[in-house]
Structure 1
Amino acid sequence: MSAYAVDPGLDDLAATARAALVREIDASGAWDADPVWRAAFGAVPRHLFVPYYYVGAQGPQGGYERRWGEDPSARRREEWLRGAYADTPLATRLRDGELLSSSSQPSLMAKMLAELAVRDGDAVLEIGAGTGYNAALLSYRLGDELVTTVDLDPEITESARRHLVTAGHRPAVVTGDGARGCPERAPFDRVVATCALNSVPRPWLAQCRPGARILAPFATGLIALRVRDAGHAEGRFLHTSAYFVPLRGGIRTEREAPDVRLSGLPRRARGHELLRFLLTLTAGGLTSEEAHALWEGEAWPARERYGITVAGDRAWAWLDDPGGPHTWPLP
């Protein structure tokens, strides 16, 4: 059996587990904005994209335990398959204990794909190939020729390409700096990132058609930008929280991943997820004390009240109004 084969005896279990995952995502409301995605999740076999993954090891040593589809133990192969269809993120690539790549939580993927608001005929650029599973879902919906996925790591793109072929899809899989986009495949109608940003890469705007939508993790949230032209985009954050591996590439931002300092803040505030979001979004623009005062003064604002504007050489985050009193520069 090859590294990407599946024990034929697990076929029925895979179909049952996939159907259960679809029901779970359905109940979560993740694709309510575009329920057509239900068919894609029901058809694309996630287990083909995670022939192995890592879970936290039990015991005092900690670390990670590898689960894989060719384990000599039938019980552990079944455990691997059930885990592949759990509504959880799966660690798929480690280096010296550092997480380099993962397969995102399926319900969050469903939410992001629904919020991407694709239409038939849209060309989509995905930043961060991961296992290839998200590209397969896009290919199922739109067709291989309209999907491009980019990743900096050639091992990741080669692995994603193999998984996609095994599942019957052949979108464009490109090895390159995701921050630079993919000019040879432009223009795009949609851009979706599966890695966290701390700035908006300008090449993405230049490679988008007017009216294109960009959806990306940013400051523990998801920003949805509408592109006006090569120099202008604006949008608000979604309600959803999101935690992703940071974007890696040659275009470096002026501000690395922010160091969120909670010391000195009231105990009840330190554990609040929305305050952490604000602290991350305003790092370098506000002190933690200033951010906390704003958060209290504005009655704990939800993510949807925040947004981002890109205009020429400037980019800034804001609360309620891009021209209002509460704005913070971005790289």
Structure 2
Amino acid sequence: MGAHTAHTAHTARSARTAQTETRDLRETAHAAQVRELAAAGVLDDPRWLAAFAAVPRHVFVPYFWTGRGAGHERLWAEDPDPEGRARWLRGVYVDTPLATRLRDGRLVSSSSQPSLMAKMLAALDVRDGDDVLEIGAGTGYNAALLCHRLGEEHVTTVDLDEEITESARAHLAQLGYHPAVVTGDGARGCPARSPFDRIMVTCTLPLIPHAWLGQCRPGARILAPLSTGLIALTVRDPDFAEGNFLHTSAYFVPLRGATAAPPPDPEGVAHGIPYELIENERFQFMLVLTAGVLHPREALDLWRREGRPARERFGVSVSAEGQWSWLDDPQGPYVWPLGEG
């Protein structure tokens, strides 16, 4: 064997060894995260445990942005610096949301915190054969988990941004999943693929788009971030849905589209409220939910009088006439309009 041939063979072996080591590191990190989520009690359903074990997050987050000083640093899978690649991989498998798309320094898309995703998927309460609409395609990771659980033919994911849907479609295809990935205004749903048994939303809403109700089968469930919580609505018919918030907090990128509006800033509406209460998650939730209806001092007085109520005591009703939030009872004394749907 000549020197050149020997060098080429050595280089090829070194490349294969590096690829094997990288694959092993990714598999190890993925398995460790699944164990962590299971230990935290968010993967009690063996079917969701199997989905998280089958769908590696790194495929959907080939790069992400992390804040550093006044700017952002991009960590990516193809970084020529081995330490840079290691930081990327470690970051991907931390249980935290990751900024995946910035525009003019503003976050427009992210990969959600895996433990919150697991909680939301469990709360979605899907059954075999259910048709699911996801609002906010993001990286495609959540759609892949749904595909594994239900089959790709039962999954539709929508996003307003064509760059996001193209990227999500490519990530999904890498693992052999081909659900319907639609570029469009999620606030309008996806009538061409309706009716749906479940609608799962991965962006914060100012109110529930009424169009969704008409695209649901009776008894369907809508799970959506609203205020700083997660509302779980049961759809009775095309004109009515109602339900309570879950106990967990939830912070997502705001919905962009026809009914989009930024959620109120609690610090901006809470003039005169003690800082320690602005930082209290339970009160912050109520403050945002009632912004523009109750003065912050009124909200504080009510919150204290009612025993500092947790999120699950609040609910939302959606009808053809409008939308309102309430405490304990939709027909009770504490009801606040959310706006026109």
Q: Which residue in the other structure is 1:3 paired with?
A: none
**Residue 330 of structure 1 aligns to a residue in which SS?**
strand
CA distance in 1, matches of 2:314, 2:308: 12
CA distance in 2, matches of 1:8, 1:68: 18
CA distance in 1, matches of 2:177, 2:142: 11
Q: Is the 8 A contact 1:150 1:174 kept in 2?
A: yes
Is 1:20 paired with 2:56? no
Structure 2 counterparts to residues 84-163 of structure 1, below 5 A: 84-163=92-171
Q: Which residue in the other structure is 2:292 paired with?
A: 284
Is 1:225 paired with 2:237? no
Identity of aligned residues (%): 64
Q: Is the 8 A contact 2:205 2:260 kept in 1?
A: no
Question: Relative to structure 1, is the Cα distance of residues 323 and 194 closer, same or farther in structure 2, using a 3 angstrom cutoff?
Answer: same
CA distance in 2, matches of 1:301, 1:285: 18
CA distance in 2, matches of 1:217, 1:47: 25
Question: Relative to structure 1, is the Cα distance of residues 252 and 86 closer, same or farther in structure 2, using a 3 angstrom cutoff?
Answer: closer
CA distance in 1, matches of 2:80, 2:260: 44
Choose from 300, 304, 308 the match for 1:296: 304
Shift of 1:19: 1.1
Q: Is the 8 A contact 2:137 2:168 kept in 1?
A: yes
CA distance in 2, matches of 1:208, 1:75: 48
The number of residue pairs the alignment matches comes to: 320
Q: Which residue in the other structure is 1:40 paired with?
A: 51
Q: Which residue in the other structure is 1:239 paired with?
A: 247
**Residue 36 of structure 1 aligns to a residue in which SS?**
helix
Structure-1-length-normalised TM-score:
0.94
Q: Which residue in the other structure is 1:315 paired with?
A: 323
- For residues 79-100 of structure 1, what are the alpha-carbon distances to aligned partners after superposition, in whole Å with 9 as ceiling and x for unaligned? 2112111111110000111000
CA distance in 1, matches of 2:88, 2:241: 42
Structure-2-length-normalised TM-score:
0.91
Residue 145 of structure 2 aligns with an amino acid whose one-letter code is L
CA distance in 1, matches of 2:46, 2:284: 31
- For residues 243-285 of structure 1, what are the alpha-carbon distances to aligned partners after superposition, in whole Å with 9 as ceiling and x for unaligned? 00110002356xx522322231134322211111001000111
**Residue 256 of structure 2 aligns to a residue in which SS?**
coil
Q: Which residue in the other structure is 2:265 paired with?
A: 259
CA distance in 2, matches of 1:75, 1:141: 35
More displaced 10-residue stretch of structure 1: 21-30 or 64-73: 21-30
CA distance in 2, matches of 1:99, 1:161: 20
* Unmatched tracts of structure 2, length 5 or more: 1-17
**Residue 102 of structure 1 aligns to a residue in which SS?**
strand
- For residues 180-208 of structure 1, what are the alpha-carbon distances to aligned partners after superposition, in whole Å with 9 as ceiling and x for unaligned? 00000000000000000111111110000
CA distance in 2, matches of 1:246, 1:200: 13
CA distance in 2, matches of 1:306, 1:130: 28
CA distance in 1, matches of 2:254, 2:164: 15
Residue 210 of structure 1 aligns with an amino acid whose one-letter code is P
**Residue 227 of structure 1 aligns to a residue in which SS?**
strand
**Residue 85 of structure 2 aligns to a residue in which SS?**
helix
Choose from 66, 76, 87 the match for 2:74: 66
CA distance in 2, matches of 1:290, 1:143: 49
Is 1:29 paired with 2:45? no
**Residue 170 of structure 2 aligns to a residue in which SS?**
helix
Q: Which has the larger radius of gyration?
A: 2
Q: Which residue in the other structure is 1:54 paired with?
A: 65
* Unmatched tracts of structure 1, length 5 or more: 1-5
Residue 14 of structure 1 aligns with an amino acid whose one-letter code is R
CA distance in 1, matches of 2:124, 2:20: 35
**Residue 10 of structure 1 aligns to a residue in which SS?**
helix
Q: Is the 8 A contact 1:148 1:172 kept in 2?
A: yes
**Residue 25 of structure 1 aligns to a residue in which SS?**
helix
Q: Which runs of 4 or more aligned residues in structure 1 lie more than 4 Å from their structure 2 counterparts after TM superposition?
A: none
